[in-house]
Amino acid sequence: MKIYNKLNGKCLCGKVAWEMTGPYEFFGMCQCSRCRKVTGTAFASNLFVRSENFFWASGEDNVNEYLMDPPNTFGNSFCKNCGSRVPRFSSGRGAMMVPIGSTMDSPEIEPTLVCLGDHTDWFTDLEKLLR
Ligand SMILES: [Zn+2]
Ligand SMILES: [Zn+2]
């Protein structure tokens, strides 16, 4: 049986912290307009992990959640103190959605760029930017 690495994450101020272990379900870098708004940048980088493999280490009571009006299931969870995005349950994927930039170590799963047709004009090709 494969042993997956344990990952730790925390918000900018450190009040909200979490731990998780694999197997990781999906690592999506989503360019849709809602993900751009919620992150303020070209795409959201989220790791999806089953709820039973995710644990709040501290500060769960410091998490605030914003939900869009139904039938939207989109929302945002963030630290009440520093405003950093923190994990939230994704009903669409049935898994915890973890903003992976808050984690210092790498997950053992490759990222996938999604919503390719819905991107900014200034961000079109990551490989081109990295050249
Ligand atoms: Zn914080
Ligand atoms: Zn999106």
Q: What is the DSSP string of 36-98?
A: HHHHTSS-EEEEEE-GGGEEEEE-GGGEEEEEPSTT---EEEEETTT--B--EEETTTTEEEE
Average pLDDT over residues 100-125: 84
- How far apart, in whole angstroms, are the C-alpha atoms of residue 86 and residue 76? 8
Distance 16 CA to ligand 1 centre (A): 6
Neighbouring residues of the ion ligand 1, judged by CB less than 5 Å = 11, 13, 15, 79, 81-82
Q: Which CATH number fits domain 6-119: 2.170.150.70, 3.30.1490.20, 3.40.50.1100, 3.40.50.150?
A: 2.170.150.70
Ligand sitting nearest the alpha carbon of 35:
2
Assessment of whether the complete model's pTM goes beyond 0.75: yes
| pLDDT reported for residue 67 | 93
Percent of the chain at pLDDT exceeding 70? 95
Q: How far, in Å, is the centroid of ligand 1 from the Cα of 84?
A: 6
Find all residues with CB under 8 Å of 115, minimum gap 6, and list them. 30, 31, 32, 35
